[in-house]
Amino acid sequence: MLNVEQIDVYYGHIQALKGVTLDVPHGEIVTLIGANGAGKSTLLKTISGLLKPNRGSIHYTGVSMNGKTAQDIVKAGISHVPEGRRVFANMSVLENLELGAFVRRDTIGIRHDLQKVFELFPRLHERRKQLSGTLSGGEQQMLAMGRALMARPKLLLLDEPSMGLAPLLVKTIFAIIEEINRNGTTVLLVEQNANLALSIATRVYVIETGSVVLSGTPEELVSSEQVKMAYLGS
């Protein structure tokens, strides 16, 4: 579904990504793990058109995404849930969700998807008239995910969905990610909780200082001494 080939990205004179290559097959949950500052968020922003690569190519369903705007990429079927939620704090939950469908014109389909989001996240239905800035961190994470789903993506980019959440809520969020995937959405997940990420992934990439240093199945990476020492606390 997604092919990233030899991507270089710079912030000024600082190179953030160095020849990054990865594939996201249709229907899978692919996870990126790595330390803070390794380049994981930069890669997601580049895929979603918020940053432009200095070199390399990105193809989605066989079509080049190079030069496409972020809006074009959303229309193509890629939605991005950014690190830190980034909800519109002075707007209601419902208004945030409706904004997620800004590229769509199918009113009936939008209403249908709104109900699906409320079924997936019942708390959002309870809070639908509440200002988003007054929600808890976990509720804001649900809202950010629900808002992204309102674009009806085929590929969902998730950046650190567990950040700052209580362990019980993290389990809930990850169960919902698995359900979203079972319902037909491919997922590219950035996550610092490596144990949890490996538990739901079908393929894993390890990024260090802007480069992919390891990749494989979760089973292969769990048996890697390098991964166990650096990311699994063992």
Report how far residue 11's alpha carbon sits from residue 92's, in angstroms, rounded to the nearest whole number: 34
Tell me the pLDDT of the chain averaged across its residues.
92
Enter the tokens of residue 151: 């674009």
How far is Cα 21 from Cα 6, in angstroms, rounded to an integer?
Answer: 5
Rounded Cα distance between 196 and 177, Å, is 12
CB of 152 closer than 8 Å to CB of 104: yes
Whether 44 and 68 have beta carbons less than 8 Å apart is answered as no
Residues 117-156 as b/e (b if ≥16 CB within 10 A, e otherwise) read bbebbebbeebeeebbeebeebbbbbbbbbbbbbbbbbbb
DSSP state of 202: S
pLDDT tens string 167-191:
888 888 899 999 999 999 999 999 8
Whether the per-residue pLDDT at 222 is higher than 90: the answer is no
- Beta-carbon contacts of 14 under 8 Å, excluding residues fewer than 6 positions away, are none
> Is this structure's pTM higher than 0.85?
yes
| All structural domains of the chain with their residue ranges | 84-152
DSSP 131: B
Q: pLDDT tens digits, residue range 78-137?
A: 999 988 778 988 999 999 999 999 888 899 999 999 999 999 999 999 999 999 999 988
Burial of 31 (C-beta count, 10 Å sphere; 0-12/13-18/19+): buried
Q: What is the pLDDT of residue 22?
A: 96
At 213, list the tokens: 């240093």
CA distance 11 to 32: 21
What distances in angstroms separate CA 225 from CA 22, 34, 191, 199, 230, one per listed residue? 22, 15, 20, 17, 8
Model confidence pLDDT, tens digit, residues 11-52: 999 999 999 999 999 999 999 998 888 999 999 999 999 999
